[in-house]
Amino acid sequence: MQSQPAPDPALVILIDKPFEWTSFDVVNKLRRGCRIKKLGHAGTLDPLATGLLILCSGKKTKEIDQYQAQEKEYTGTLVLGRTTPSVDLETEFDAEFDTTGITPEQIQEAVKQLTGEIQQIPPIYSAVRVNGERLYEKARRGETMEIKSRIVTVSEFEVDTTQLGVEPFPEISFRIVCSKGTYIRSLVRDLGLLLQNGAYMSSLCRTRIGDFRIESAETVEGFITRYRTEYGLNQPA
């Protein structure tokens, strides 16, 4: 029985990336499940983050840079009083701090300093390349290196401090709107430093890229099922 030829449509695909999947996991799953020959994503999400991932197929892959450059919105939570080398839960806690003296006013002042056009140093556990190698590869070998700062724009940074003082390590919800190249983990790290304390990111969801919103995104399996039905890949060859 001869297999059906793989379609090569020009599509912009909105996927809600699952927790602990890499962005390339999503690409590979769709490439195999839909037999799409030309497919790429427009902006990496960390494995421990969820939310909107834009993928382009066929001739639409020429527009990937356009989507990567658009403004992004994130929601998530950070925890004060503890740090990890990766600034999230990929690595173990390496320090603890007393948070009892921190006030909502101090947090709002720190947030203000991290809003607007700012200089930001990417996290050591990131996909930034230094001398042709990803930073996280160097970090996992325990290597230290100088990381250059970059200019990014944080247009909105909102925090909910209602949990402050309730727990020794209070969890704070946030919403951030920012430019391409902004690392949310760096903002969390720097917030802790400005408070002369520590912080790590406990959850993150990308909710918007330009005019595309998470509400319009599909699950990986949901898209594959719809695509295979639409392009006749479930029919006998």
Cβ-proximal residues to 40 (8 Å cutoff; 6+ apart), any chain: 27, 55, 56, 61, 64
Find, among 46, 53, 15, the residue nearest to 33 by Cα.
15
Active site residue 46: yes
Residue 69, CA distances (Å) to 49, 63, 97, 154, 183 in order = 19, 10, 37, 14, 14
C-alpha 139/C-alpha 175 separation (Å) is 28
Residue carrying structure tokens 């002042």 = 109
Selecting among 8, 16, 25, 46, the annotated active-site residue is 46
Q: Which of 188-195's residues contact partners 24+ apart within 8 Å by CB, and which partners?
A: 188/78, 188/87, 189/83, 189/87, 189/123, 190/114, 190/120, 191/78, 191/107, 191/110, 191/111, 191/114, 192/80, 192/83, 194/109, 194/110, 194/113, 194/114, 195/80, 195/102, 195/106, 195/107, 195/110
Specify burial of residue 46 (Cβ count, 10 A radius: 0-12, 13-18, 19+): buried
Active site positions, annotated: 46
